[in-house]
Structure 1
Amino acid sequence: MIFLQYMRSFVFIVVMYLWMIVVGLLGAIPAAFSKNATYWVLKFYCASVIFLARVICGLHVEQRGEIPSGNVVVASKHQSFFDVMLHMYYLPRANFVMKQELKYAPILGFYAMRIGAAPVKRGQKSKAVSQMMQGAKKGASDGGNQLVIYPQGTRVAPGDHRPYKVGAGVLAQRMERPCVLAATNVGYFWPKRSMLRKPGTVIFEYFDTMPEGLELSEFVKVMEEKIEDKSNRLLDEAGFKRRG
């Protein structure tokens, strides 16, 4: 059975990336002239991947909580590439703070720049906040969006821990936006460094809004506690066995 699931996963991955090339190239012309068309292409591709994951791998998605709209910051758990696609699919006008290297990635970089994503160079803390603010303001200049930021700065596998950074708090406070939290157990089904895509149900949940008036250090502490607690509960629900 595990061999068969690996074969299904391999087929899914090949089809997913081939379809990305097809959709990305066909959609490039309308996307180059229209931001609305850019979002349509991205949402269509993400819907296709969700469908392919269900049909080929038996991987379903359950979305919980009220989907944020308007000008908000979304501070999210990040466990795999799939949760990026889920944000793009569910949020009306998703945008992202992303690592700068992705700006130059084929297809992905083009579409990320078309929606006004905010690229940030790792290892330059003094410049990171300025880069995030510049990118966020540029991306919001056409009427607003839901700005997704991953406070841990990278994908983190279930059971592992990386400290949360201040970026989400800084953006929310300086841009005077509510900060909505998001949690998921997607990493259990779509591991960070594995070809296997497990059958089951990914839970993807928007679940809380950060209180106003917190000092930045307290903001980060509360955000981390809330996101980690919710994500761990979702992992428990999926059957993940945590160490310790």
Structure 2
Amino acid sequence: MSAAFSPQPGRLTLWQYVQNVLFYLHIGLATLIIGFWGLFVVLRRGEEGANHVASTWIGYLVRAARWHLGLICEVRGTPPTHDCIVAAKHQCFWDILVLAHSVPRRAFIMKREVMRVPIMGWYAKKVGSVPIDRSRGKDAMKAISARIRERMQRGVLGQLIIYPEGTRTLPGQRKPYKHGVATIRAATGLEVIPVAVNTGLFWPRKGWGIRPGRAVIEFLPAVPADLPSDRVIPWLEEAIETRSDQLMAEAGFKA
């Protein structure tokens, strides 16, 4: 059961504010150290080495959140270990970390601009994340699907994480789901695993004022294999949003 949520995100104690500052200082330093150490691992082991470094970095950040902030994340359901699309609700940076920590070979479909972020963006590229150039419209989806098929043929795809809403949302907020998941599923035949979250109750969208508690991400049953492509997005939206609302209500949130 998740810790009760107080709908007053600004009311942190002085010690909690101090811990927020210490947490960000800690993970900033850890990112530099692990990032530079990882360069040698990547040079020796290539993409497998990059995945190992990413696992080390993500695991360290998850533990640091527990140490400094008292923030724990419960993972429910069965995280996939096979090639698939993981379609997740996205409320904050925390759910990125925990979702990536839960699967053995994560990669993301992400905005091209994120790939330019120092250290983190470089490793995202090295583990096989796929950039999306939204200005290219349909051509962007064709390029993404081709890249995914190529990685599938080489046996290095893993769990491809995508956020159907295309951006972070506030607790209780919904945005229209984009067509990308259905398009990629049709082009590749990959199974789609939905993920519901309530992480935004504890980690604000902009990352400041993180609260202690037990957040939840939950892997849900896969999209039915025989579901027609034009029904994938409505089915996905219903499954993810309904369960995310339930997880938030379980934590004491009322929209």
1:78-89 maps to which residues of 2 (within 5 A)?
A: 78-89=90-101
The alignment's TM-score, normalised by the length of structure 1, stands at: 0.93
1:21 counterpart = 2:28: no
RMSD after superposition: 1.5
* 119-128 or 3-12, which deviates more: 119-128
Deviation, 1:146, is: 0.9
| Deviation by residue 1:129-163 (Cα, 9 ceiling, x = unmatched) | 12321332344344131111110111112122210
176-185 vs 129-138, which moves further: 129-138
Q: Which amino acid aligns with 1:111?
A: Y
Q: How many residue pairs end up in the alignment?
A: 242
Q: Give the counterpart of 2:133 among 110, 121, 132.
A: 121
Map of 2:242 onto structure 1: 229
- For normalisation by structure 2, the TM-score amounts to 0.90
In structure 1, what is the equivalent of residue 169 of structure 2? 156
Report the 3-state secondary structure (helix = DSSP H, G, I; strand = E; otherwise coil) of the residue aligned with 1:221: helix
Residue type matched to 2:14 in 1? F
Higher RCO (CA 8 Å, separation ≥ 6 residues): 2
Q: Deviations over 1:63-101 (max 9, x none)?
A: 110111111111111111122222221111111100000
Secondary structure of the 1:209 match is: coil
Q: 1:8-57 CA distances to partner (integer Å, 9 max, x unpaired)? A: 11211121122111111111221244222111111111111111111110
* C-alpha deviation, 1:214, in angstroms: 2.6
User: Given residue 155 of structure 1, which amino acid in structure 2 is its aligned partner?
Assistant: R
Q: What's 1:3 paired with?
A: 14
Deviation at 1:117, TM superposition (A): 0.9
Whole-Å Cα distance in 2 between the matches of residues 237 and 125 of structure 1?
39
Q: Give deviations 1:169-209, integer Å, cap 9, x for gaps.
A: 11122211111111111111111124111100011111110
The answer for the alignment partner of 1:172 in structure 2 is: 185
Equivalent residues of 1:181, 1:208 under 8 A apart: yes
Change (3 A) 1:128 1:87: same
Tell me the distance in 2 between the aligned counterparts of 1:35 and 1:57.
32
Equivalences for residues 1-244 of structure 1 within 5 A = 2-32=13-43, 33-143=45-155, 144-242=157-255
Distance 1:117 1:200 in 2: 30
- Distance in 1, matches of 2:62 and 2:188, equals 32
**Runs of 5+ unmatched residues, structure 2:** 1-11
* Identity, % of aligned positions: 31
Determine helix, strand or coil for the equivalent of 2:227: coil
Aligned partners of 2:167 and 2:84: how far apart in 1? 21
